[in-house]
Structure 1
């Protein structure tokens, strides 16, 4: 990994963590009591610290993300087909989970898992024969793990049950 990229990534993550910590301190300080007759109390210094943490973390995050934004703006535009392909691959696991929930009772867990793993592998460039063999093996391992090791019954479906 490029050391500059790794450094910027660590700064980006540190900025996010410090910002989140600052927001957490601010939220928690809201519940501290105030002194009777005064506008300040036990929450004053935690709020100041939380505000400084939030601002400092946001500043570190912005400084770390700035080179990435500049590089993105200087890069040529991505074609629409690649963007759509990326979005499809991004939502594919969610679609497959929904498909499992809809099909598992009818087809059974083993057949549904095999079908969904084949679809996932084909979308990622695996050839048909290898995809079918790996999907069957994966489904068998998942079935064995859930039914025999975890004692979680999976649906057999109309075809097997």
Structure 2
């Protein structure tokens, strides 16, 4: 018979695995992206953007690992642990797949900013349990910044869409 502490241990183990995965993938991507050759005459090359993303993800994954390892050894009373909800996990996984698929199929017609804002808002609303307005604001700002970085810094044109 399982005691009441089993779901929280599973949840911490789940977060720990995600943290290890994010950390290891970010190290791998950073190493591979730095192996790309530089473009002649440019300060940025094909490995610049993946290196930046990997450098941002590394501390996030490391923070998840440290947080879960310390909460395992120290009984953290302030941290509220809940059971792993598989239905929410599947919905988030589908939403994560929705972002690249919707950009592939609809960005040319409706534009990158609109499609990415809507799909990222859906994903954030699922993860933040229905906080739609703040999810929309954060998504719009993040997508606008990424769009600006791609068009001005990386010189990669993103689809603007036919409706604008």
TM-score range, shorter chain: 0.3 to 0.5
TM-score by length of 1: 0.46
Higher helix content, 1 or 2: 1
TM-score by length of 2: 0.45
